[in-house]
Structure 1
Amino acid sequence: MVKLSDDYLNNKAAFEQAGIKVPTYDQAALKQATADHPRWVHFGGGNLFRAFHAAIANTLIEKGELDSGVIVGETYDDDVVKDIYQAYNNRILRVVTKADGNFDKELFASVAEAYFFNPSHEDDWNNLFDVFKKDSLQVVTFSITEKGYNLRTVNGDLNDLTKADIANGPEKPKGNMAGLVSLLLARFNNGKAPLALLSTDNFSQNGDRLKESVLTIAKGWQENGFVGADFLAYLQDPQQISFPLSMIDRITPNPAEAVGDKLAAAGFEDHEIVHTPKHTNIAPFTNTEEAHYLVVEDAFPNGRPKFEDAGVIVTDRDTVNDADEMKVTTCLNPLHTALAIFGSVLGFDSIAKELQNKDLVALIKQIGYVEGLPVVTDPKVINPKDFINQLVTKRLPNPYIPDTPQRIATDTSQKIPVRYGVTIKHYDERDGFDPATLEFIPLTIAAWFRYLMAVNDEGASFEPSPDPMMADLQKYVGDIKLGDDVDVHAHLKDVLTNTSIFGQDLYAVGLGEKVENYFKQMIAGKGAIVATLEKALADHAQAVD
């Protein structure tokens, strides 16, 4: 048996016997180089980072294009740092699971340090401040999910955490964004070196969202006298601090027991999955798919690693926007969210199993090919129709990508505005299109309200996935019982008119009543969700080439 912490340089044969590729670089030397001249910090040390960003860094280090490792700042779960990073010498086993059942296994030693970025962990907190003060730092990347950037309530007001952070100033802030702005203030006060802040989270205009959150905190501090106008000017000068856009795509679910079992059978000892008290599911290994895309705007005022040598598409802002909108609003995320919502209320525990259901496959084809593609902009670097073809025929049906609708359903309220709202807006704004002609996007929105009832299609209760707006949203539907003759409009109107959720008033674009009608059908009784889906497909589905 071989362990992740074994000497991979002098014990290469043992790793090869287990089918694991290992680095050729010395980890200790890389760690020292990182201490001397850090280049790259990443916030959010979860499974996506471990499968994708760490792999990019590993490739660049192997090619001599990156001369230090990645420093991870975990923002949510201190046990991840202690039990996954530090316990295994900051190493990662990345497993690419193929549809034929074969695995590609590779050890990464590209993470130099891992810290829990919270004032409660004083040493880690101070270490990251020291890193940000160094001129050599070029890029900070993020995979902290949509809610990591959120500073506001469902009504658009600043939330209590943000209000407190703005009132209390840069000393020991509690929120992610206030902590980041504190780091940027330290950099500003120690020479004003440039820096790129690159969000790689899975939503449109992610760099703009990051910039908005950073400036909201900074402007609040300026109003309260904690910082001067010169700090705001520093943050708003793209030659000093940039916020590049990105499009990222790599399905990376929680580590799977089936993968761990196969690793153990192959002779790898560290195959146990860790379930932390904060409900993080993580392991010394991470499992992911073969297909992957990362498209990045080339805006790095302090230089950057040669990302393109690791397969990253580095291009202009418009192309990133087009690629991102293609994926997030049309070709992947809306389909994923539809499967998450319907899968949760229909009792599925696997995305791959959902792809064996002809009605669910027909649903996502209608959302993608019929409703989405006509208004998507072709980014040229990726073909939109080919992207959906690959997703529907190869990626989602892969039984060795153990993804669940429950994982995808997490934070759905944060995803709806982009995953469906953008397409609705295009139908409203473009000549020759009318949002009232849409059928399967409003059907999915209706199913989301049905999901918020926390009652499945058989009438049994289930626990919805975590969502920062769950308590607020359930107030509107939580008292509805299956079979009730209720005033659906009275229950849904306040949400359907909420532009922060849908991007527009759905009644104003002709969809509010359609959502209400589908929702009314779905609460008729047991089996009503399946019946509503079947009827919608029979009445409205169009042929797909």
Structure 2
Amino acid sequence: MENTKKRPEWLHFGTGNLFRVYPAALCQNLLNKGEMDTGLVCGDCYDFELIDKLFRPHDNLTVGVTLKADGSISKEIIGSVMQAEKCSNEFPEDWAILVKAFRNPSLKMVSFTITEKGYAIYNTDGTLLDSIRDDLKNLPMKAHTFLGRLVILLLERFNAGKLPIALVSFDNSPHNGEKLQKAVLKIAQTWQIKKLIPKEFIDYLTDSSKVAFPWTMIDKITPRPNEKIAELLKKDGYEDAALIITRKGTYCSTFVNSEEVQYLVIEDQFPNGRPPLEKAGVYFTDRETVNKVEKMKGCTCLNPLHTALAISGCLLGYKLIYDEMKDNDLRKMIEILGYKEGLPVVVDPKIINPKKFLDEVLTKRFTNPFMPDTPQRIATDTSQKLSIRFGETVKAYLANPELDVKSLEIVPLVLALWCRYLLAIDDEGKSFELSSDPFLGEVCMILEGIKFGSPKEEFEPKLETLLSNEKIFGFNVSESPIAEKVKSYFEIMISGKGKVREAIAQACRK
């Protein structure tokens, strides 16, 4: 604790389940090996109840529960978090600790698990988010968004002597470092134009020898804490395994359950040095390789398969991804999506073999009976994922003269499945709750009025309007060579009960 207070090396923002069971566990691994002698300072920037209900009452400890494919589980105490604070100047004591850490020359890395939405500064129409616009109107010290407060903390580091630092996003988003950099610079440059901060600060932020924004690829499935796991812990004498849902809808507990498999690939760009994370299994490489690994995972070998299972699972009434893998139609669907449609356009990153990675996904990860992951969780924010998980594959086919985009069956099927999902009626004709998504109101309104048996002349114009949204799909689906397949599968799926299943089976037979 004292070492961390005197010379912090690693500060992390985002105190949710992924952080507690992965980055914090990596730090614990290095502490156990004697490779580090300082722990983590972490700051919550969204849901302060986590600090009050999880961290402080339990001395910042977490029980990490690893759910293995062979049916066994392992447990470890993760105690690497030394200080957990609320990232807001509304809490002066917490804020002072974060400022002190940022002003310390010892600080090497600031990492983030704030979700992909945490880097957003613009609405879908290109206008600034109201919260960001309000921050830019006010004095920097009155910033109330996390990104605004992050810029203030970086200004503190600049004022302490232009100290170097790496800002490292661990969020599951392509080019995550670039997204963080653009958000930080937009806020800082706007304040600088208004002469609220010095121009030299912008020079500091744009000097990669001072401030770096490495790209990363992270991969670890971390479902919400599960009641069955809580019961197993109680049988082992663990007293406080109650599940907590905060007022902001965060699902958490004093334990975190996650899969055994994990990958973290980081661009090796750290102007002030870094913790020796390679000794805990992290890959360090160049930006191009990080990008290839991210594309392998995000565009072909994992994320598209997860989304396909999520959407179809919601429509077919499934509650667990694991159970979907016992459904022959669904399993065949993602096998075709991965092996037949995905692998032909994957770029081999060399450090991880794409075929072996895909084999592991299908035989060890999705089939893990102890992984309580749900289609409903994975379906969250799907509108923000389609352009990467499917749009990039279509564009890769279009760009390669040796590949026939019209040979794709599962990609257009999944796009049709998502449109069908937006009707919020399952394959038995029963209504269900759609998972949260920032564009849900917008996209559902477009398809409003479509129901079982709607004639083509009624639904097609609405469907084409949605499919023409390039921001969602990454390309204009309605003007693409797969447009007719998407519309055809959608037409089948709204023709009556049981037709979602029929469309999936049909696509898998072709």
Instruction: Give the TM-score, by structure 2 length.
Output: 0.96
Deviations 1:276-334 (A, max 9, x none): 22221111111111111111110001100001010101111111111111111111111
The alpha-carbon distance between structure 1 residues 494 and 126, as it changes in their structure 2 partners (threshold 3 A), is farther
Counterpart Cα distance in 2 of 1:67 and 1:152: 40
Q: Which amino acid aligns with 1:473?
A: V
Structure 1 outlier segments of 4+, above 6 Å: none
Conservation of the 8 A alpha-carbon contact between 1:427 and 1:433: yes
2:440 corresponds to: 470
Asked whether 1:490 is paired with 2:461, we answer yes
Which of the residues 37, 57, 60 maps onto 2:27? 57
From 135, 148, 154, give the equivalent of 1:165. Answer: 135
Residue 77 of structure 2: aligned partner: 107
**Which whole-Å deviations, capped at 9, do the CAs of 1:449-488 have from their partners, x for residues lacking one?**
1112212111211111111111122111233222222533
**Which residue matches 2:495?**
524
- CA deviations 1:503-522 (Å, max 9, x no partner) are 22223432333322222221
Q: Does 1:333 align with 2:303?
A: yes
Root-mean-square deviation over aligned CA pairs = 1.6
Cα gap change, 1:494 to 1:283, in 2 (>3 Å)? same
Instruction: Provide the secondary structure at the position in 2 that maps to 1:152.
Output: coil
Separation of aligned partners in 2, 1:226 and 1:425:
43
**Which residue of structure 2 aligns with residue 425 of structure 1?**
395
Distance 2:139 2:382 in 1: 31
Q: Which residue of 2 aligns with 1:503?
A: 474
Q: Residues 456 and 234 of structure 1: is their aligned pair in 2 closer, same or farther, counting only changes over 3 Å?
A: same
Q: Structure 2: which amino acid aligns with 1:190?
A: A
Q: Which runs of 5+ in 2 are unaligned?
A: none
Name the SS for the 1:65 alignment partner: coil
Aligned residue number for residue 239 of structure 2: 269
In 1, distance between residues paired with 2:100 and 2:79?
Answer: 22
Residue correspondence of structure 1 range 438-449 to structure 2 within 5 A: 438-449=408-419
What do the CA deviations read for 1:400-459 (whole angstroms, capped 9, x no partner)? 111001111111112112111221221122332343432211211111111122121112
How far apart are the structure 1 equivalents of 2:193 and 2:399?
37
| 1:286 partnered with 2:256 | yes
Per-residue CA distance 1:158-214 (angstroms, 9 max, x = gap):
222222222224223232322222221221122111111111111211111211222
Aligned to 2:286: 316
Distance in 2, Cα, partners of 1:35 & 1:492? 57
**Does the CA-based 8 Å contact 2:102-2:154 persist in structure 1?**
yes
Match of 1:480 in 2: 450
Aligned partners of 2:166 and 2:337: how far apart in 1? 35
Partner of 2:200: 230
Tell me the equivalent position of 1:66.
Answer: 36
Contact 1:149/1:176 (8 A) holds in 2: no
Name which of 368, 387, 393 aligns with 1:398: 368
1:185: which partner in 2? 155
Task: Give me the identity figure in percent.
Answer: 45
Corresponding letter in the other structure for 2:156: A
Matches within 5 A, 1:69-84: 69-84=39-54
Contact 1:147 1:468 in 2 (8 A): no
Mean alpha-carbon deviation: is it higher for 230-239 or for 304-313? 230-239
For 2:384, the equivalent position in structure 1 comes to 414
CA distance, structure 1, for counterparts of residue 102 and residue 466 of structure 2? 41
Residues 1:117 and 2:91 are matched in the alignment: no
Say whether the 8 Å CA contact 1:96–1:103 is kept in structure 2: yes
- Whether the 8 Å CA contact 2:24–2:40 is kept in 1: the answer is yes
Per-residue CA shift, 1:368-395, capped at 9, x if unaligned? Answer: 1111110111111111111111111111
Query: Contact 2:296–2:347 at 8 Å: present in 1 too?
Result: yes
Cα distance per residue 1:325-382 (max 9 Å; x no partner): 1111111111011111111111111000010101111111111111111011111111
1: distance between equivalents of 2:139 and 2:426? 45
Structure 1 regions of 5+ residues with no counterpart? Answer: 1-30, 541-545
Deviation at 1:100, TM superposition (A): 3.1
The structural deviation recorded for 1:250 is 1.1
Name the aligned partner's letter for residue 493 of structure 1. Answer: E
Stretch moving more, 340-349 or 165-174: 165-174
Aligned partner of 1:78: which letter? F
Q: Structure 2 counterpart of 1:394, which letter?
A: K
Please state whether the residue corresponding to 1:510 is helix, strand or coil.
coil
Q: Following superposition of structure 1 onto structure 2, how do residues 370-381 of structure 1 map, counting pairs within 5 Å?
A: 370-381=340-351
> CA offsets per residue over residues 21-61 of structure 1, 9 Å max, x none?
xxxxxxxxxx2111111111111111111111111000111
Q: Secondary structure of 1:99's match?
A: coil
| Alignment CA distance shift 1:135-1:478 (3 Å) | farther
Check conservation: 1:155, 1:500, Cα contact below 8 A. Answer: no
- Aligned counterpart, 2:15: 45
Equivalent residue of 1:463, what SS?
Answer: coil
Aligned to 2:191: 221
What SS does the aligned partner of 2:142 have? coil
Matches of 2:202 and 2:403, distance apart in 1: 42
Between the aligned partners of 1:118 and 1:463, the Cα distance in structure 2 is 34
1:253 aligns to what SS in structure 2?
coil
In the alignment, is the contact (CA less than 8 A) between 1:79 and 1:276 conserved in 2?
yes
CA distance in 2, matches of 1:420, 1:174: 35
| Contact 2:450/2:459 (<8 A) preserved | no
Partner in structure 2 of residue 241 of structure 1: 211
Task: Label 1:272 to 1:436 Cα distance change in 2 as closer, same or farther (>3 A).
Answer: same
Deviates more, 1:447-456 or 1:155-164: 155-164
Q: Is the contact made by 1:343 and 1:349 (CA closer than 8 Å) also made in structure 2?
A: yes
Q: Which residue of 1 aligns with 2:65?
A: 95
State the distance in 1 between where 2:21 and 2:318 align.
Answer: 25
Change (3 A) 1:183 1:478: farther
Distance 1:89 1:493, change over 3 A: same
SS of the residue corresponding to residue 524 of structure 1 reads coil
- Under a length normalisation based on structure 1, what TM-score does the superposition of the two structures give? 0.90
The match for 1:209 is 179
**What CA distance in whole angstroms lies between the structure 2 residues aligned with 1:410 and 1:220?**
32
Given that 1:154 and 1:472 are in contact with CA atoms closer than 8 Å, whether structure 2 keeps it comes out as no
Q: Distance in 1 between matches of 2:142 and 2:315?
A: 42
Q: Contact (CA 8 Å) 1:272, 1:283: kept in 2 or not? A: yes
Q: Distance in 1 between matches of 2:229 and 2:43?
A: 27
